[in-house]
Structure 1
Amino acid sequence: MTDVTQAAIQQGMDSFMATFGRVPDNFRLLAEHAPGAFAGYGLLRGFVMRDRAEGGALDLKTKELVFALLDTLVGQTNGAKNHAAAAMRLGLTLPELAEGLVQVLMVGGITTWNITGAAVMKHCAELPPEG
């Protein structure tokens, strides 16, 4: 494995740790069995998940919300829950989340709510208050 690939893998791992506090099992599996693919993903994730202070155009709360909504649209419930919870930790409110999930419903139909959106809303409504 090249030094560049190893550095990209580490950047991806560091990005997950900074935003989620852990590397999800599916991504650990990818890094183990397809390190080059994870390295590429790590570079993309490292670029996208920069807060404004690190040169990102959008703040992390907005990026986490966007990922939660996109994951909801494609039926990726676990990812949507994780990203929505991360956005909540960064200050997203339940009314903001609900409004975003309704936008997904408008684009993707009621099935997006029934399969993923409702689970995301319930998960975030049950999170302990920050502080």
Structure 2
Amino acid sequence: MIQKIAQVMLYVNDPQKVADFWIESLDFVTIYKENTQGIIQIVIAPSRDSETQFVLFERAVIEKLKPELNFGTPSILLASQELDALYQKLQKAGVTVGKVVHRPQGRVFNFADPEGHYFAVMEEPFLLDLIDRHKKP
């Protein structure tokens, strides 16, 4: 049985540039970096003990090896207990951010990485409450 989502593969043009963005702008950490037979793999996460990690691969290399894969960036919703502080930090860093939107589920905003891939961040208390409501019969 599946216990959790362990890793999400992201296919990018420049894995190191994208890793640096996540580390510098969002305080992610590098779990490990590997270059085996020309395949660069950088694993990053919000913390060393995070249950889910991003694995950054160089898109052009993987496209040659596995052209049947879907190379689009998945829609990923991140959670933050400090939505306003994160929003301001990203703005000050010059990151492309959307407006904070008030949704029935809570406040959320989008941001783009250096390659134009968009991600969303939702305020965590609202996200946890939403999950709890769906668990109850």
- TM-score, L = length of structure 2: 0.30
Q: Which has the higher strand share?
A: 2
